[in-house]
A and B are shown apart, each in its own frame.
Chain A
Amino acid sequence: AQTVTQSQPEMSVQEAETVTLSCTYDTSESNYYLFWYKQPPSRQMILVIRQEAYKQQNATENRFSVNFQKAAKSFSLKISDSQLGDTAMYFCAFMEQRYDMRFGAGTRLTVKP
């Protein structure tokens, strides 16, 4: 069974600084997808970034980037120039192709002014 581990229940960062959220996963498959979702207080799940395992290049989306280490089964999210609106729960998710998605326990990020 695939498992997703987020070892940081809570983190905080000063506005405009950079923060990295960690995620590890366990699988025996070679082809899969990884995601980071953001859940603000509204509880709407918002896709932040996506990475296909077969792609070696790390995905980036504006201030958000990932460090994907396939051999180490690690998928960390870096948020640059943190903004107050980045305050939210962040969930790492794993999905084999066409199968259901499994989520980590989440990391609560607080951006401080």
Chain B
Amino acid sequence: GAVVSQHPSWVICKSGTSVKIECRSLDFQATTMFWYRQFPKQSLMLMATSNEGSKATYEQGVEKDKFLINHASLTLSTLTVTSAHPEDSSFYICSARVTSEADTQYFGPGTRLTVL
């Protein structure tokens, strides 16, 4: 299957700072990537859909000014958590859609964010 990388794998930051998470499709081009959030022992919750060259589409309840998404190329999408607070601590997972495989999404390994 297709390979998606995510960086960093874990990050600890102070409250009020901003954190950027990168998601890359390594062996294919992805016009659409997705960002999810997963709390412990829960399912994945879609935060936003990232479209190359256009603005991201956010799910209801997700603050677009707090979770900035940029999809500047066909292989890279970034999620920036601005002015992070302890309640933003979570596991963030990205995925990329492979149109040639019935729109199957392949997932990155995730980023564990801890805000102190």
Contacts and interface: CB of A to CB of B under 8 A. Distances in A.
Given A44-B110, A100-B49, A103-B43, A50 B91 contact: no
A35 B104 contact: yes
B76 interface: no
Contacts, number: 48
Interface in A48-96: 50, 52, 91, 95
Contacts of A104: 43
B43 A45 contact: no
Nearest to B105: A101
Interface residues of A, number: 22
Contacts of A45: 44, 93, 95, 107, 110
A47 B95 CA distance: 12
A105 interface: yes
Interface of A is mostly: strand
25 contacts: A33-B103, A35-B104, A37-B107, A42-B109, A43-B91, A44-B107, A44-B109, A44-B110, A45-B44, A45-B95, A45-B110, A50-B102, A50-B104, A91-B43, A91-B44, A95-B103, A97-B103, A98-B103, A100-B46, A101-B34, A101-B95, A102-B46, A103-B44, A104-B43, A105-B42
Given A101-B105, A103-B43, 19 more contacts: A33-B104, A37-B107, A43-B38, A43-B109, A45-B95, A47-B104, A50-B101, A50-B102, A50-B104, A52-B102, A91-B43, A95-B103, A100-B46, A101-B46, A101-B95, A102-B46, A103-B44, A105-B42, A106-B43
Interface of B: 1, 34, 38, 42-44, 46, 49, 91, 93, 95, 101-107, 109-110
3 closest A-B pairs by beta carbon, nearest first, are A45-B107, A103-B43, A44-B109
